[in-house]
Amino acid sequence: MLAESLALSAVLFTIGVVGVLTRRNAIILFMCVELMLNAVNLSFVALSKLYGATGQVFVIFVMTVAAAEAAVGLAIIIAIFRHRQTVHLDDINLLKG
């Protein structure tokens, strides 16, 4: 099932990239990044059957970093929304508020 897992991982990663490139809602963009991280986790787990449990250890690290990233990113989105009343990325085009 290694080949199928890697193919599924690639498909999910591609769908995540398509989402990042096409969507304009900042929160959905973040969710697409989470989907890409999940796809990478799947290939880590699939390859850990061949190369030992280190891949699963790495998945735990990826999940922790994803949690930290989601917390900080969503806090930034809340701050932007409080400032501009929108999370639409086309409306957020100034570095200086």
The whole-angstrom separation of Cα 49 and Cα 64 is 22
Which residue, 18 or 91, has its beta carbon nearer to another protein? 18
Three-state SS for the chain is: CHHHHHHHHHHHHHHHHHHHHHCCEHHHHHHHHHHHHHHHHHHHHHHHHHHCCHHHHHHHHHHHHHHHHHHHHHHHHHHHHHHHCCCEHHHCCCCCC
Binding of another protein by 89 (CB under 8 A): no
Binding of another protein by 91 (CB under 8 A): no
Residues 50-69 that bind another protein (CB under 8 A): 52-54, 56-57, 59-61, 63-69
Tell which one of 31, 40, 89, 92 touches another protein (CB under 8 A): 31
The whole-angstrom separation of Cα 47 and Cα 2 is 7
Tell which one of 3, 51, 82, 94 touches another protein (CB under 8 A): 82
Handedness of CA 43, 20, 71, 96 (dihedral sign): positive
- Residue 68 tokens, joined: 């930290």
Binding of another protein by 40 (CB under 8 A): no
Binding of another protein by 24 (CB under 8 A): no
Interaction site with another protein (CB under 8 A): 1, 4-5, 8, 11-12, 15-16, 18-19, 22-23, 25, 27-28, 30-32, 34-35, 38, 41-42, 45-46, 48-49, 52-54, 56-57, 59-61, 63-72, 74-79, 81-82, 87
